[in-house]
């Protein structure tokens, strides 16, 4: 099986993606929203400024926390800053470079997918910063082993979810059924076990701290700590599911529209001007061999 099999379907096979209900939902949703279809450029600019500012604000909060200026906390004082200001600056530069590259050879019918990919790249940036934020403040409390356990769990969860969705998309594109190998079976069982019995471990930890704690304050703090860590995991897992089940299929469909532009244009029954947009058509299509010659019957 090719590593990039999902990206190697021919035009006829790629059409099978149009039957996916989630892709259809994303298509209708993005095409009707000004932030994606480009009709609300002022709103997009304002939202972008606010969101970029928020990412840099997270780094500022971490720096204030490292300096001990956030007030009293039940958590141990962090001694390693995993989110210094150069991190959001670097991630912003990476995001900006990708954005500029995506704008090249961009035409009307794929512009909505480009904007969605740009939004997705920002969300990846945001979730990465959020994890570095939590890691900075919780590493001392969790210890290295505890933090490593959390990220290993998230890594295994990501693998299972993306592997499962990728195989589902492959079946959709090419037909047939894929079987799990021994490693997949092992990881699948491990993830199922953690999801099924992980809450028992959390309850045992809370009861242990409740029974053997010296003050009621510690008991409350432990409950709060477990709740925050649970929220951390839930947010990450929700993001992983969104990436695998919403963004991946939708962006894959957009990739095939970019790969087979003329085929999809004809399949959707649009003229080249409608498909590419006036600006792109006049610059790259009109007067070239790519321009579709109308049959006038003579």
Any domain includes 229:
yes
Question: What single DSSP character describes residue 286?
Answer: T
- Structural contact between residues 191 and 159, judged by C-beta atoms closer than 8 angstroms: no
Q: How many helices (H) and strands (E) does the chain have?
A: 12, 0
Query: In angstroms, rounded to a whole number, what is the distance separating the alpha carbons of residues 36 and 54?
Result: 21
284/177: higher pLDDT: 284
Higher pLDDT, 224 or 179: 224
- For residue 296, being part of any structural domain is answered with no
Structural domain includes residue 19: no
Q: Which H or E run includes 128?
A: helix 108-174
pLDDT tens, 244-263?
888 999 999 999 999 999 89
Residue 17 covered by a domain: no
Domain assignment present for residue 4? The answer is: no
Range of the domain at 265: 25-285
- Only one residue has tokens 């304050």, namely 217
pLDDT digits (tens, 9 = 90+) for 59-84: 998 888 887 776 666 666 778 889 99
Total domains, the chain: 1
Instruction: Say what the pTM is.
Output: 0.78
């Amino acid at each position: 099986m090719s590593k990039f099999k999902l990206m190697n379907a021919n035009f006829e096979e790629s059409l099978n993606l149009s039957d996916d209900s989630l892709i259809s939902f994303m298509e209708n949703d993005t095409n009707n929203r000004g932030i994606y279809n480009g009709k609300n450029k002022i709103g997009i600019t304002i939202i972008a400024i606010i969101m970029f500012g928020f990412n840099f604000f997270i780094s500022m909060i971490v720096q204030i926390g490292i300096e001990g200026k956030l007030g009293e906390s039940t958590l141990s004082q962090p001694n390693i800053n995993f989110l210094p200001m150069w991190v959001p600056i670097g991630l912003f530069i990476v995001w900006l470079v990708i954005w500029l590259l995506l704008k090249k050879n961009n035409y009307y019918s794929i512009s909505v997918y480009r904007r969605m990919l740009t939004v997705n790249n920002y969300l990846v940036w945001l979730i990465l910063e959020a994890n570095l934020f939590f890691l900075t403040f919780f590493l001392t409390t969790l210890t290295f082993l505890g933090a490593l356990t959390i990220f290993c769990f998230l890594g295994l969860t990501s693998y299972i979810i993306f592997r499962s969705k990728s195989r589902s998309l492959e079946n959709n594109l090419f037909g047939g059924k894929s079987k799990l190998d021994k490693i997949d079976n092992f990881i699948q069982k491990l993830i199922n076990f953690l999801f099924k019995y992980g809450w028992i471990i959390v309850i045992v930890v809370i009861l242990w701290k409740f029974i053997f704690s010296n003050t009621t304050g510690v008991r409350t703090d432990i409950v709060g700590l477990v709740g925050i860590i649970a929220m951390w995991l839930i947010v990450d897992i929700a993001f992983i599911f969104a990436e695998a089940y919403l963004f991946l299929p939708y962006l894959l469909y957009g990739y095939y529209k970019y790969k087979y532009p003329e085929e999809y244009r004809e399949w959707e029954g649009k003229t080249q001007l409608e498909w590419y947009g006036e600006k792109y058509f006049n610059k790259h299509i009109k007067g070239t061999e790519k321009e579709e010659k109308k049959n006038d019957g003579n």
